Structure 1
């Protein structure tokens, strides 16, 4: 298959360009659910006139359905996208990139989607779709799945299809999170995932970061202690990865601690832990929820993060050495490869 693709690239480069273009249009429609032609043209940085011919072709082929409210992918279009995804990854050069990162860090799987989440909301949606697909594939029967908060994780929850039945499973927040935007809290994401899949969920109604005295006090509460023990029995965790200084501001970390993190070279944050360039833990916030030792003992640790700006932070977490699966985008993947020798 790869040899045929290489021949086609040399002899029929225009055909490859057309295939990429039509795949990208179909893919945008899939991830958007329902989208108007004008909105789609803006997302693809093209004109409605140019897009009209392609939309007409896709409609004639039965790959999309056009209604007054906009366009949606058809069952045939969805099936086509699934079947040609490996070919398209080769066309975009992503298969080789996935294997390079996977082998360097000893991961079980790397999934790279085209684009840059920093520049395109569509790419972040695709990260969510890819994350949902991996979760469905790896989840075991009667599993307890811990999830963190954040905008990318909210996209994962959105793309978990209601047709996916995970009855017998539990979704739980990996840590407390009151104070964040409600829709981005781990509690909200855990409950959304459970409701979409027929699973059950438990919530943790405590702040994300606490003073040491408040932390110790909460840990003495029987009801809080019981839910924390339940969360720590999770065998799978799906989590985001943040830039250290960005997350310190978002979590309202005090100025003194933030300056210490900066001086110590903190690059990444995950689970309330801050990591340096080599993947060493520099600092842990007093967080109610999963501890790093719980994560180290899990069957599946799935990290999801994208955007060129997060490339170095992702490397930092991967060097810590306890990720199993990475789901990222093309821009972040290129940054990861750039930092492999540093």
Structure 2
């Protein structure tokens, strides 16, 4: 495929450019669901006249459906996008970037979507969609899947589809709640994933940040202990990656602790642990949820994060060395490689 693309770029560069343009139109409509012509033209930096001609052609090919609220992808359009994805990764140079990141951090698999989620919410949705596909491919009957909270995790849950109900599977929150919007809490995401797959789920109704005394007390509760045991035996863990200082504030750590984290060189946070530039753990929290040894024992650990601003944090967590799969965007991947 790579050789054919190379020949096409040399002999018929216009053909490659046209294909790339039409793919971007279809993909933008797919991500948005339904789009009006004016907003679509603005988002793609095309004139309305140019876009109208492209949309007419794509409709004639049966790839688009038009309605009063805008255009949507037809089923044929969706299938074509799926078939085009490997080819487009080669066109955009994403396949080479995926392999470079995979080798640099010793990962089993890397999936990169085009763009920068710092600049476009559509890219963040695409990370969620790609993450849902990775999760669906990773699950086996009887698996326990532990998931973290956050906006990217919520987008992943919204896109998950499986070919058949997974009645023997369980989804559990990896940690307690952060006290933020209920839509983004791990409990909510676990229940949404279960509903979308026909699986079962358990909830963990405890705060994420506990004192030692509170932890010892809560762990005496049989119901809590039962859920925690399930969480700690998860075969698959799905988590986000955040900036250390930002996540410390969200977890309502004291200013003294935050200052200490910064002095210790903490750059990244994932599953409640804080990592420095070399991937060393510089701070851990007392929590009723996943521990470091549970992450190390899991069969598959999937990290989802994007945006150039998170590139250094991603590199830090990948250096920790216990992720198997990374789903990210182009800008974050480039920055992670640069920081590495």
Q: Secondary structure at the match of 2:238?
A: strand
Distance 2:120 2:170 in 1: 32
Distance change >3 Å, CA 35–CA 133, structure 1 → 2: same
Cα distance, 1:178 vs structure 2: 4.6
Shift of 1:18: 1.3
Q: CA deviation at 1:183?
A: 0.5
Match of 2:113 in 1: 113
1:123 and 1:252 map into 2 onto residues whose CA distance is 29
> Superposition pairs for residues 232-251 of structure 1, below 5 Å?
232-251=232-251
**Match in the other structure for 1:86:** 86
Q: Show the counterpart of 2:32.
A: 32
Whether the aligned pair in 1 keeps the contact of 2:178 and 2:250 (CA below 8 Å) is no
Determine the structure 1 residue equivalent to 2:288.
Answer: 288
Separation in 2, partners of 1:40, 1:142: 43
Q: Distance in 1 between matches of 2:37 and 2:164?
A: 30
Residues 173 and 231 in structure 1, CA contact (< 8 A), matched pair in contact too: yes
Q: What's the TM-score once normalised by structure 2's chain length?
A: 0.97
Corresponding residue number in structure 1 for 2:128: 128
1:278 has 2:278 as partner? yes
Deviation at 1:33, TM superposition (A): 2.1
- Which residue does 1:100 correspond to in 2? 100
Cα drift, residue 163 of structure 1: 5.3
Residue aligned with 1:226, SS: helix
1:258 alignment partner in structure 2: 258
Displacement of 1:223 in angstroms is 1.4
Following TM superposition, by how much is the alpha carbon of 1:103 offset from its aligned partner in structure 2, in angstroms?
1.4
- In the TM superposition, structure 1's runs of 4+ consecutive aligned residues that sit over 6 Å from their partners are none
Equivalent residue number for residue 161 of structure 1: 161
CA separation in 2, counterparts of 1:162 and 1:196? 8
Q: Which residue of 1 aligns with 2:15?
A: 15
Which range is displaced more, 64-73 or 33-42? 33-42
Distance apart, 1:51 and its partner CA: 2.1
State how far apart, in whole Å, the 1-side matches of 2:215 and 2:42 are.
48
Q: Which runs of 5+ in 1 are unaligned?
A: none
Report the secondary structure of 2:217's partner residue.
helix
SS at match of 2:327: strand
Counterpart in 2 of 1:200?
200
For 1:18-65, what per-residue CA distance to the aligned partner results, in whole angstroms no more than 9, with x for missing partners?
111111111111222223223323332444333222211111111111
Aligned residues: 340
Alpha-carbon distance between aligned partners in 1 of 2:27 and 2:84, rounded to the nearest angstrom: 11
State how far apart, in whole Å, the 2-side matches of 1:18 and 1:188 are.
42
1:338 corresponds to which residue?
338
Q: Equivalents in 2 of 1:282, 1:304: separation in Å?
A: 22
User: Does the CA-based 8 Å contact 1:267-1:274 persist in structure 2?
Assistant: yes
Partners of 1:229 and 1:213 lie apart in 2 by: 19
* Equivalent residue, structure 2, for 1:150: 150
Partner of 2:137: 137
Structure 2: stretches of 5+ with no match in the other structure: none
* CA distance, structure 1, for counterparts of residue 43 and residue 214 of structure 2: 47
Maintained 8 Å contact 1:178/1:206: no
The alignment's C-alpha RMSD in Å is 1.4
CA distance in 2, matches of 1:247, 1:36: 37
Moved more, 214-223 or 59-68: 214-223
Change (3 A) 1:238 1:320: same
User: What secondary structure does 1:193 align onto?
Assistant: helix
- Confirm or deny: 8 A CA contact 2:274 2:283 kept in the other structure: yes
SS at match of 2:277: coil
Whole-angstrom distance in 2 between the partners of 1:199 and 1:301: 20
Question: How far apart are the structure 2 equivalents of 1:250 and 1:50?
Answer: 46
Tell me how far apart the structure 2 counterparts of residues 268 and 172 of structure 1 sit (CA, whole Å): 24
CA distance in 2, matches of 1:303, 1:67: 38
Query: Which residue does 1:171 correspond to in 2?
Result: 171
Structure 2 Cα separation of the partners of residues 155 and 48 of structure 1: 30
CA contact (8 A) 1:31 1:129 kept: no
Cα separation, partners in 2 of 1:199 and 1:39, compared to 1, 3 Å: farther
